Each structure stands twice: as C-alpha cells, then as structure tokens.
C-alpha cells in the first residue's frame, strides 16, 4: 500500500504545522516538550488527553495556549463538588411562551478544558461519557450533535485526596493519553521565572483552523501501517491481561486488570501520527513505543503484590516494552 503524492504533500504539511505549533506554544510554555508533543498528537488523532501533575506546572496554561494557536472555540469548566450534569450539558427551560427551550451548556465547544476533573462526583463526571465517545449529547430524549473538531483536555492533581473522586474506569478509558507532567529542569525554571515576572505578554498566532485539523485527522487515519507493527501493538496490549493465553508472567504476577481493545487502537493511531510529526510516512515499532506509556498508564491496574513490592505502573510498562 502506498501513499499517493497528494497525501505525501499533506503529510509534509502536517509536519510543518506541528513545527509551527510547537514554536507558538514555546512562547508561553517553557520546557515540557514531551507533554506538548503528546497533547498535539491526541489532537491530530481526534483523541482526548488527561494531564496529571502537581499544582503550578502550567497544565491549564498549556491548554489555553494550544486553543489559541488552533483558533478554535474554547470553554473552561471548573469541576467542583457541587457541579451538576446540567452545568456541563445544558438544560431545558421555559421561555416566555411557556415552551421548553434547550439552553446549550459549555460542552458545546471545540476544546473543553475540564479543570480538576476529579473534584466532582462520578454522577457529574459521567456527563462527559457520551460526548467523549459519541460526539453528541442527549437531553430529555433528544440528541444534539457536537461541533467538530471536539477535544476534552482534562487536568488532575495527583497528590490531594481530600475532596476528590477517582475517575471511573469507563471515564479513564475514553482518554487516549494519560500525560504526566514533571517538575521543570533547573534551566527551564530559570527561564520560566524570567519570562513570567515581567509585564510582557507574548502574542500567540493562529496556526490551524477547524477545517485544517479535521483534514489532518483524516490524513492520520490513511497512513499505511505494516502488519508487524500492528501485531506488535496488539501483542503488547494482550501481554497486560493477566491469566489469558497471551499474558506475560509479569502481568500474571503483578496486574489485577489489563488494557482493553481501545489501547490497541490508540497505540496504532498514535504511532501513525507520531510518524508524521517526525517526518516519516509510515510508523514502525519505535513509534508504538513512543506512545505506549501514556496509552497504557491509565488502563492497567496493579494488584496488592505489586503495590507491596513498590512496583509502579510505569516500571511494569517499561518491562513489557
């Protein structure tokens, strides 16, 4: 299977657009290159991302900056314990003629920043399930389509437990990536302090619009993949499932639950996009490995033995790779 000449040009255009986006984002976000790469990958793959990190690592600022560079409609939802599903989806109200009228909620946007998503109860978290999977909202038996492109970029604080509600597995599985943000390096922190303690605000130029993003999303899905690369992705996922035919000894010993088929799908589609942004026209096994950690991190569950021995999810994934 070969990519046609027009698709080669489109692939080059995606690579160029990715470089421009990185340049614009770097005006505001210093360091965090891997995080930026993964978030943009999820955008081009029509996926959602969960950003996990301690306070002050610019999670919210990063999403704001990306939305500015993409020139898309943006809404921020601050998740709080008293937030209701209608505060996200919208609700029916009576107009002056005593007819029901549906008032659109903030979910009707292109980019949704679900800030501190684990601070609201599961009842409200579940309001995102249909939107993230079906790109629609159903209220009072009527279905409303969401505008495309549509992304949920959520943030979460990993260290506070009081007043938080763990995300259900069904919710977590809808996120393509679980992206961890680390502390910046010494030099990066120096640059951050210098840049953010002045009165100058950098201007973010628009790089892509909605139509261009949708075109790139279709392009990513057209990228050809060798059978051995797909087989590697599926075998990797099946290794995580304990007590099955393809399970690894590591999974049997240390995992309570493994990744589902969505993980295989996201590994392949993520590898396709990773190849394009790296200037290649088809992914290889290294591209699978490049996205494996954020794809699998939130889809496998350690058992008591792994916790007792201090084995992290990341170390288990690294050994499986």
Q: What is the CATH number of domain 224-320?
A: 1.10.8.80
**Rounded to a whole number, what is the distance in angstroms from the first to the last CA of the chain?**
28
Label residue 10 by pLDDT band (50, 70, 90).
Answer: confident
Q: Is the pLDDT of residue 236 over 60?
A: yes
- In terms of average pLDDT, the best of 127-131, 272-276, 311-315 is 272-276
Give the separation between CA 193 and CA 173, rounded to whole angstroms.
36
Residue 6: its pLDDT value, please? Answer: 79
Q: What is the pLDDT of residues 71-103, one digit of tens each?
A: 888 999 999 899 999 899 988 887 777 777 888
Is the domain spanning 5-211 CATH 3.90.1150.10? The answer is: no
Sorted by sequence, the CB contacts under 8 Å of residue 284 that are 6+ apart come out as 226, 229, 275
Residue 5: its pLDDT value, please? Answer: 61
Give the separation between CA 252 and CA 112, rounded to whole angstroms.
38
Q: What is the pLDDT of residues 134-165, one digit of tens each?
A: 999 988 788 899 989 999 999 988 766 666 78
Label residue 1 by pLDDT band (50, 70, 90).
Answer: very low
CATH 3.40.50.300, the chain: domain bounds: 5-211
Token readout for 136 is: 């629609």
Q: What is the pLDDT of residues 158-192, one digit of tens each?
A: 766 666 788 888 788 899 999 998 888 889 889 88
Element (H, E) at 125: helix 122-125
Sorted by sequence, the CB contacts under 8 Å of residue 298 that are 6+ apart come out as 50, 172, 173, 175, 178
Return contacts of 8-14, CB within 8 angstroms, 24+ apart.
8/281, 10/215, 10/216, 10/219, 11/219, 11/223, 11/276, 11/281, 13/216, 14/44, 14/216, 14/219, 14/220, 14/276, 14/277
Average pLDDT of the residues of the chain? 88
Q: Is the pLDDT of residue 2 over 50?
A: no
Q: Which percentage of the chain shows pLDDT scores above 70? A: 97
CATH 1.10.8.80, the chain: domain bounds: 224-320
Residue 135: its pLDDT value, please? Answer: 92
What pTM, to 2 d.p., does this model score? 0.89
Per the rule left: phi > 0, alpha: psi between -120 and 50, beta: everything else, 191 is: alpha
259 close to 239: Cβ distance less than 8 angstroms: no
Q: Give the number of other Cβ atoms within 10 Å of residue 112's Cβ.
A: 27
Token readout for 130 is: 């249909």
299 close to 266: Cβ distance less than 8 angstroms: no
Q: What is the pLDDT of residues 17-76, one digit of tens each?
A: 999 999 999 888 888 889 999 999 999 999 999 999 888 788 888 888 888 898 888 999
């Amino acid at each position: 299977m070969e990519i046609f000449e027009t698709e080669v040009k489109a692939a080059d255009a995606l690579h160029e657009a990715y470089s421009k986006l990185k340049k614009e984002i770097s005006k505001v976000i210093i360091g965090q290159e891997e995080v930026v790469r993964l978030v943009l990958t999820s955008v081009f793959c029509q996926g959602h991302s969960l950003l996990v990190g301690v306070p002050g690592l610019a999670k919210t600022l990063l999403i704001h900056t990306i939305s500015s560079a993409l020139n898309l409609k943006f809404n921020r939802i601050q998740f709080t314990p008293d937030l209701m599903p209608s505060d996200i989806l919208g609700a029916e109200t009576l107009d002056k003629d005593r007819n029901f009228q549906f008032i659109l909620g903030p979910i009707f946007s292109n980019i949704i920043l679900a800030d501190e998503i684990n601070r609201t109860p599961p009842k409200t978290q579940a309001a995102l399930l249909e939107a993230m999977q079906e790109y629609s909202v159903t209220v009072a038996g009527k279905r409303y389509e969401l505008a495309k492109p549509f992304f949920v970029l959520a943030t979460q604080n990993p260290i506070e437990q009081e007043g938080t509600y763990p995300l259900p597995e069904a919710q977590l599985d809808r996120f393509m990536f679980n992206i961890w943000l680390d502390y910046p390096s010494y030099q990066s922190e120096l640059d951050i302090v210098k840049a953010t303690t002045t009165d100058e605000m950098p201007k973010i130029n628009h790089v892509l619009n909605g139509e261009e993003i949708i075109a790139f999303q279709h392009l990513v899905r057209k990228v050809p993949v060798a059978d051995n690369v797909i087989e590697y992705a599926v075998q990797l996922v099946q290794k995580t499932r304990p007590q099955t035919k393809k399970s690894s000894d590591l999974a049997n010993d240390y995992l309570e639950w493994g990744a589902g088929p969505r993980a295989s799908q996201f590994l392949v589609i993520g590898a396709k996009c990773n190849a394009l942004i790296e200037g290649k026209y088809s992914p290889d096994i290294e591209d699978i490995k490049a996205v494996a950690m954020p794809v699998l991190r939130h889809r496998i569950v350690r058992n008591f033995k792994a916790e007792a021995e201090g084995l992290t999810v990341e170390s288990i994934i690294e050994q499986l790779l």
